[in-house]
Structure 1
Amino acid sequence: MASALIAAASIVLPTLAHAQAAAPAPEHTFTSNIGFASEYVYRGIGQTNRKPAVQGGFDYAHSSGLYVGTWASNVSWLTDGNSTVSNSLEMDFYGGFKNTVGDFGYDVGLLQYFYPGTGYGNNPNTLEGYVAGTYSILTLKYSHSFSDLFGWVGSRNSGYLDLTANYELVPSVNLVAHVGRQKVNGNSSDGASYTDYKLGVTKDFSGTVVGLSYVTTNASSVWYTNLLGKDLGKDRVVLSITRTF
């Protein structure tokens, strides 16, 4: 009897394990996130003048690969030293499609940056399209602006190309390395274009991710020093904490 039970278990248990592994992914997935950063830095450029940022968003994903989402953060780059502008918030709205073909993942979509406020010169709101491909630890992404880029006059059709490597050092601890090139159109001297770099590490504590990174750029201080005298492209260390629900 004991041998029969053992034999039966050897048949049933693998079957149950296979059934669990083959369980289909949910058709609809809703997630949210909230985070804190010692400074909001985007594409290597400071958005909060070396001050902290509170951030968060909501996402919906369909099993087909379609997704939409929104994300927001406090910002100060539009108002720092400029008393005519009233703004303290960036809101992002995005949607796209992502899937995999064998070991290769791809992602295409649109992203609208929205800065509610008044007193702007050229409108900072920006619409970008993007396409990304992922293989193993590497992701290559290109973003293309269909409007002027963040208020740069005549900068429509600017592009940002970036390569990111995400390598798991040990379970739940990742090394992140990044290089990106921002091309800003409409500037004959090419002084507004630059390259940014980031090297960091993240640790996942059961859904709470803590990150520490070093960020730097070769952005010209002539173009990226704000009216308060702060060089927004200068190197810095950024601490972040993000919780996903």
Structure 2
Amino acid sequence: MKTYLTLSAIALAAAATLSSGTVLAQAAAPAPEYTIAYNIGATSDYRFRGLKQNGDNAAVQGGIDFAHKSGVYLGTWASNVSDWAAANASANLEMDFYGGYKTELAGVALDFGMIYYNYPGASKPNLSDTREVYIGAAYGPAAFKVSRVMSTNYFASTGGDASGTMYYDLTLSQEVMPKLTASVHAGYTDYKNGSNNLYDGGVNGSGKVSYSDYNVGLTYDYEGYMLGVKYFFNDTKPGTEGYATSAAGKKLYKDGLAVSVLKAF
């Protein structure tokens, strides 16, 4: 989902095909037709766009990625989540299914795709399942991604039509020491309101959900295990806080620190 703990299968394939200086004279090995990569990890605080997805509990996560040398890719990813994130679905599980196309133009890496966030076992009508399309671009240490909601739902935030909601994601990352990478993220959720939305100032008068989220972090590669730490903070509004407060009264928008570990195969 969401803010993935995954490594791109395409990136893994590229790393696997790098030649050392001792074999440069040899003919380059052809790129494989496709690669399949697996990942598994855990985090002390699973956040999506700044908001806690599993209350104050840790989450176990993992996924599978398929990448063709043409640039086409498919993948799936899953995590345990709280009743709030899953809209009281019986499984308390999030499953993401995504696919797209990656290419490069004038040194800029481009990514076009779509993703379906699914919460198995949610009651009908399902107010959690969300579909988005996205466009991403990366150059050097900077990556920018824009996502647009295509479904009526937006993660159980609405009783109306939230289609057209946008998310803007800017992330800067740079290796600052061998195997140690620092990152800075800024995001903005531009929430589009339908006539019956619960947080549009109509039903409960709490105002729009739109808000900014930020995080800073470090990731260390320890013998193939990616060890991470991030600090999250948000610029919330009353509408955001009304949406991101669980039935038990937990404030899921609060600032906080998360540690994580990821292993890719």
Q: TM-score, normalised to structure 2's length?
A: 0.81
The one-letter amino acid of 2:154's match is: L
Residues in 2 aligned to 1:120 and 1:79: alpha-carbon distance in whole angstroms: 15
The one-letter amino acid of 1:172's match is: K
| 8 A Cα contact 2:53 2:85, kept in partner | no
State the match for 1:149 in structure 2. 154
State the match for 2:242 in structure 1. 222
The one-letter amino acid of 2:39's match is: N
**TM alignment of 1:186-201, pairs within 5 A:** 186=193, 187-189=199-201, 190-201=207-218
State the match for 1:98 in structure 2. 102
- Indicate the larger mover: 204-213 or 181-190: 181-190
| Structure 2 unmatched ranges of 5 or more | 1-20, 194-198, 202-206
The one-letter amino acid of 2:155's match is: F
| 8 A Cα contact 2:89 2:119, kept in partner | no
State the match for 1:4 in structure 2. none
Query: What RMSD in Å do the two structures reach over aligned CA positions?
Result: 2.1
State the match for 2:136 in structure 1. 132
Moved >4 Å (runs of 4+): none
Q: Does 1:117 align with 2:149?
A: no
Residues in 1 aligned to 2:150 and 2:262: alpha-carbon distance in whole angstroms: 30
State the match for 1:212 in structure 2. 229
| Structure 1 unmatched ranges of 5 or more | 1-13
| 8 A Cα contact 1:85 1:120, kept in partner | no
Residues in 1 aligned to 2:89 and 2:23: alpha-carbon distance in whole angstroms: 62
Identical residues among aligned pairs (%): 38
- Indicate the larger mover: 22-31 or 167-176: 22-31
Q: Does 1:34 align with 2:40?
A: yes
Residue 78 of structure 1: CA displacement?
A: 2.8
User: Are the structure 2 counterparts of residues 201 and 16 from structure 1 closer, same or farther at C-alpha, using a change threshold of 3 Å?
Assistant: closer
Residues in 1 aligned to 2:154 and 2:146: alpha-carbon distance in whole angstroms: 14
| 8 A Cα contact 2:59 2:81, kept in partner | yes
> SS state of the match for residue 242, structure 2?
helix
> SS state of the match for residue 78, structure 1?
helix
Residue 197 of structure 1: CA displacement?
A: 0.2
Residues in 1 aligned to 2:22 and 2:95: alpha-carbon distance in whole angstroms: 48
- Indicate the larger mover: 62-71 or 219-228: 219-228
| 8 A Cα contact 1:191 1:223, kept in partner | no
State the match for 2:258 in structure 1. 238
| 8 A Cα contact 2:83 2:89, kept in partner | no
Q: TM-score, normalised to structure 1's length?
A: 0.87
Residues in 2 aligned to 1:106 and 1:72: alpha-carbon distance in whole angstroms: 25
Residues in 1 aligned to 2:91 and 2:211: alpha-carbon distance in whole angstroms: 26
Residues in 2 aligned to 1:198 and 1:61: alpha-carbon distance in whole angstroms: 29
User: Are the structure 2 counterparts of residues 27 and 79 from structure 1 closer, same or farther at C-alpha, using a change threshold of 3 Å?
Assistant: closer
Residues in 2 aligned to 1:41 and 1:177: alpha-carbon distance in whole angstroms: 15
Residue 79 of structure 1: CA displacement?
A: 7.2
User: Are the structure 2 counterparts of residues 206 and 15 from structure 1 closer, same or farther at C-alpha, using a change threshold of 3 Å?
Assistant: closer
Residues in 2 aligned to 1:79 and 1:172: alpha-carbon distance in whole angstroms: 34
User: Are the structure 2 counterparts of residues 86 and 131 from structure 1 closer, same or farther at C-alpha, using a change threshold of 3 Å?
Assistant: same
Residues in 2 aligned to 1:206 and 1:26: alpha-carbon distance in whole angstroms: 25
State the match for 2:219 in structure 1. 202
Residues in 1 aligned to 2:229 and 2:212: alpha-carbon distance in whole angstroms: 20
Q: Across the two proteins, how many residue pairs are aligned to each other?
A: 230
State the match for 2:60 in structure 1. 54
The one-letter amino acid of 2:42's match is: F
User: Are the structure 2 counterparts of residues 15 and 34 from structure 1 closer, same or farther at C-alpha, using a change threshold of 3 Å?
Assistant: closer
The one-letter amino acid of 1:51's match is: N
